[in-house]
């Protein structure tokens, strides 16, 4: 009988597990990738440790402060709420193809 087990007759088939979905942050943040110099990486890690926060939180606060004066102004179809896939709302509320 032990020969049957070693020959693979009683083996269970291997099933691959589906890839785990990445957890979405609950606070509205988005995951991005940045390439930074080694020196900046060391400075970011050191300052984060000194402040007692993680690197992502520190980088977010630095970027938020640096971008404080930037204003995004939408004009035309995007400002009117249209612009999803090249469609504009025609008179009467019907979607028409913008050509």
- Token digits of residue 70: 């930037």
Per-residue pLDDT of the chain (99 residues; tens, 9 = 90+): 555 555 555 566 678 888 777 666 678 889 999 999 999 999 999 999 999 999 999 999 999 999 999 999 988 887 777 655 544 444 444 444 444
Residues 51, 54, 55: CA angle, nearest 5 degrees:
100
- The predicted model scores a pTM of 0.52
* Residues in CB range of 95: below 8 A, 6 or more apart: 87, 88, 89
């Amino acid at each position: 009988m032990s020969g049957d087990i070693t020959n693979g007759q009683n083996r269970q088939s291997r099933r691959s597990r589906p890839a785990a979905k990445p957890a979405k942050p609950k606070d509205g943040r988005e995951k991005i990738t940045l390439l930074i110099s080694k020196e900046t990486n060391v400075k970011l890690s050191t300052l984060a440790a000194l402040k007692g926060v993680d690197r992502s939180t520190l980088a977010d606060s630095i970027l938020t402060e640096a971008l404080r004066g930037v204003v995004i102004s939408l004009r035309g179809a995007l400002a009117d709420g249209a612009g999803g896939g090249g469609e504009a709302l025609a008179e009467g509320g019907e979607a028409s193809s913008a050509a």
